[in-house]
Amino acid sequence: MTDPQLPAGIRAATPDDVPAVLGLIRELADYERALDQVRATPDQLRAALFAPSPGVFALVAENEGEVVGFALYFLSFSTWEGVHGIHLEDLYVSPTRRGTGVGAALLASLAAIAVARGYARVEWSVLDWNTPSIEFYRRLGAVALDEWTGFRLSGDALLATAARSTG
């Protein structure tokens, strides 16, 4: 199955993009009031994105040779649909490029990849206080999954739950 032609300025990330993407991840974390939680290193990101069989992928938006936005995603699977989907982990555009169509182009590119590959959906989470992003997604036709609540196991709870498997 072939992938669609991406819009001008949008392309698959390369290993050379890792420092710029990590810089944008840090900007995103700062915007989300969680910069102190970023632990990712360039080596970790490079290994995750460019392993022989990567489990995570990235598109970048480039303007005049500068990476100004990115979409980092991985595959999900719908047991009801019986096919994969795309889970968008992060979508971020530098503040100076917001409102210029970069975010919409990144999301349109992910949608085109999903359609070309026969995937059922593109899904993501957004912080409930992030009104500008929520409004942007709604303008594109995305709908909130209000009936779903996200959960996470991490840290001590993850370790304790994992320990239960060694009965």
Q: Which of 73, 92, 119, 137 is catalytic?
A: 137
Strand 122-124 versus strand 83-93 pairing type: parallel
CA distance 122 to 142: 9
CB atoms < 10 A from the CB of 52, how many?
A: 4
The answer to whether residue 137 is catalytic is yes
Q: Which residues participate in catalysis according to the annotation?
A: 137
